[in-house]
Chain A
């Protein structure tokens, strides 16, 4: 059987469908209903159900041009105006020079990173009012000695602060995400923005977050370029 047939199968399978849903902007209810049937941590009913009115961040991977304006805005907001993408919470990675994957915190209801934090008391917690993961205590956090939260993040979002070794969490800029504004500015007039902020996760954030950046890149390449039998090049 050729790769193309495999590709077709993959594309028709549910997992393929869910992965590729990264391209669909407004399919929230559809994917939302598919959520509970999946055999993944996300399928377990979240202990903290979503509350209406909380902020969420979404990234439409297919719309991203890789301009990294979001990284600039994020680091400027958090670092007192200093442009330093290495310290930005949001992160955009270009794969094979042809697709761009924004890597964001999906603000999961079940917060696997918090579950994974081994210290007592925990160094991070989910704030039920603002929906962000709060970094409580830099004395409790084991920093570079511990990788538990970073390993637990299904979206591979968490990175270390290059100066301190502590993980960087998305705080939604106190309810007004700067990355979303930056993206809208750049996209204005010609493109659809890749970053969106919504008041409800609708479960779709859990579907998105289970796709690692590598998998997302692969499915974007599939969706945009449909490689032939010799691979993705020629």
Chain B
């Protein structure tokens, strides 16, 4: 047992909400070295401390709000990771969020916060360096994410606190609810908001004034400058600097054939000009907004004028939000699309899942599997009906009526409940709704959706090594735009991250260590998923829809065939040293130092 020498404070806040007792949990250097932080450390904590088969919305579930070794340093790594057992998927849930919260938490002198239990009444946690207290959140309960943030700043008389809050959706247990930072940034995937809500925890407000310990400052700052430089000069980000990720919307329609349209039925949306970056640039965006120390400034904030939502200030559209509330629902009205995006942010919902759920319902209505009057309380969810989408979102956020109850459970449970042919059209993997990249147009995304440890997510990496890279980004809690640059590995490669860790924490990492650690972390997440839900080869696949050829668009005729799936799985299992069923072998587990998982995993064979 040794305390980490640099990059970590070596302590976590351990908050038992049931008793209100707050303790300090020390972090061993070896744990930091082997599991890094963020996704990896979260997986380790959950595997070790969460009893197997815990009900995700029960008080026993843990909510681990974690930073990484590079947060708050000269390295442009500012994100925050939240790990928990997901109520949406039943497997490992982790989600990252940009904005200032990750750094602020690190600067307060804590590497993370673990929440356990359930508070008897709504509370929020206030952290000001070493001063930590649970405070009553009775007045905040029911308020949307933006108002909550403002009220916290007023109550604590501190304009510089940063907050992580849930909105009404999280309080009401919507299974894809999000945690919101800075009004528009969402830790959205996997339903962390519902876990937070189930613990009666409304918000975390943090103000930190410390500095992250760094062993060799000069060497560290040089390596960090290299990382900054890579992000600054990366030509691939030029479009994103100018128009955010929305720049991909037109590209996906005209070039890559990946624009998700009408619940993944096609990838061609003729009205793309009315929802894309060009429209937003011309009529909507006013400002660039940036995360701490990031040169990419990908957030664009704008305001709607002269529409039914006059004066609506919103962030986006980003690629996922614009596509899933635009082309995926065949909505070609920019105003409705932005209103839906803003509403999800305000209510604290995952825009990806919410968009896919609405698209799913629209397809089921079209196919006669859902009845508007009987099942949806008269909400006319039909292609292109933006007004109905807003009504549906309101029903979901507040669990109103049959529509709210049905749509709020996510596509997998909806399909099971409706029965018949319905599960065929649910665009999810392992219960997680897929993001807005059509896997037939770009098969790498198929790998990300099918093989990713948290289910159908676009942030998992497009091939076996890509998944290793992205897991490391999420464990160092950097942003892909800064830390990964997966399109040009020569620019910032494992060596730069190793340089930073070696200088900062006094380790002795080589790119080999980097890839071994990555494989350890992916394998550990797999072990957790096997232990909790018996995940195996049968689950690592896309919905059957993708076996049919794309009907339109630049990639017309492409499929994601059974053969593609088999090849993808074989390649993946071989890379990580898992057996043909997708279960890590005992040798692999020993090699990665995961001996403690052997008993849970290998016996299931």
Contact = CB atoms under 8 A, between A and B. Distances in A.
Interface residues of B, number: 47
A76 B220 CA distance: 12
Nearest to B103: A85
B30 interface: no
Given A225-B311, A233-B313, A72 B146 contact: no
B312 A83 contact: no
B221 interface: yes
A234 interface: yes
B313 A93 contact: no
B217 A224 contact: no
Interface stretch (A32-40, A132-140, A141-149, A184-192): A184-192
A69 B309 CA distance: 35
Given A81-B221, A93-B160, A188-B232, A86 B295 contact: no
B74 A83 contact: yes
B287 A98 contact: yes
Contacts of A75: 211
Interface stretch (A60-68, A123-131, A196-204): A60-68
Contacts of B238: 189-190
B241 A84 contact: no
B310 interface: yes
Nearest to A162: B209
Contacts of A186: 232, 290, 295, 297
Interface string B61-76: 0000000000011100
Chain A interface residue number, banded = 35 or more
Contacts of B291: 67
A181 to B, nearest CB: 12
B167 to A, nearest CB: 14
A65 B183 contact: no
Given A65-B287, A82-B214, A97 B295 contact: no
Classify the secondary structure of B's interface with A. Answer: loop
A224 B184 contact: no
A227 B309 CA distance: 11
A230 B294 CA distance: 34
Given A79-B211, A190-B238, A97 B311 contact: no
Most buried by B among A75, A98, A230, A233: A98
Contacts of B74: 72, 76, 81, 83
A100 B293 CA distance: 14
A230 B289 contact: no
Nearest to B221: A81
A84 B146 contact: no
Interface string A96-126: 1111100000000000000000000000000
A97 B182 contact: yes
A226 B294 CA distance: 28
B107 A67 contact: no
B303 A81 contact: no
Contacts of A65: 287-290, 297
A234 B218 contact: no
Contact of A225 (B150, B221, B297, B303): B303
A80 interface: yes
Interface string B28-71: 00000000000000000000000000000000000000000000
B159 A93 contact: yes
B209 A72 contact: no
B290 A233 contact: no
Nearest to B287: A224
Given A67-B297, A84-B107, A93-B160, A100 B217 contact: no
B286 interface: yes
Contacts of A76: 74, 221
A225 B285 CA distance: 10
A179 B295 CA distance: 14
Interface string B207-231: 0111110100110010000000000
A161 to B, nearest CB: 10
Interface in B109-158: 146, 149-150
A179 to B, nearest CB: 13
A72 B288 contact: no
B242 A68 contact: no
A75 B310 CA distance: 42
A112 B468 CA distance: 56
A185 B295 contact: yes
Given A66-B290, A76-B74, A83-B212, A185 B232 contact: yes
B292 interface: yes
Given A76-B74, A97-B146, A81 B310 contact: no
A65 B286 CA distance: 11
B292 A230 contact: no
A228 interface: yes
Contacts of A97: 146, 149, 182-184, 301, 315
Contacts of A67: 290-295, 297
Given A72-B293, A86-B209, A81 B218 contact: yes
Nearest to A224: B286
Contacts of B313: 98, 225, 227, 232-234
A98 B293 CA distance: 17
Contacts of A230: 311
A224 B211 contact: no
A94 interface: yes
B288 A69 contact: no
A24 B18 CA distance: 54
A104 B209 CA distance: 19
Contacts of A83: 72-74, 211-212, 214
B217 A80 contact: yes
Given A86-B209, A186-B295, A226 B184 contact: no
B211 A190 contact: no
Contacts of A100: 289
Interface in B343-402: none
Contacts of B342: 234
A72 B72 CA distance: 10
Interface of A: 65-69, 72, 75-76, 79-87, 93-100, 162, 185-186, 188-191, 224-228, 230, 232-234
The 4 closest A-B CB pairs, nearest first, are: A97-B183, A228-B311, A86-B209, A67-B290
Given A66-B289, A87-B209, 9 more contacts: A65-B288, A94-B100, A96-B146, A190-B241, A191-B241, A224-B287, A225-B286, A234-B309, A234-B311
22 contacts: A67-B297, A68-B100, A68-B293, A69-B295, A76-B74, A76-B221, A82-B214, A83-B211, A84-B210, A84-B211, A86-B208, A94-B182, A96-B146, A97-B146, A97-B301, A98-B301, A188-B232, A224-B303, A226-B303, A228-B311, A233-B146, A234-B309
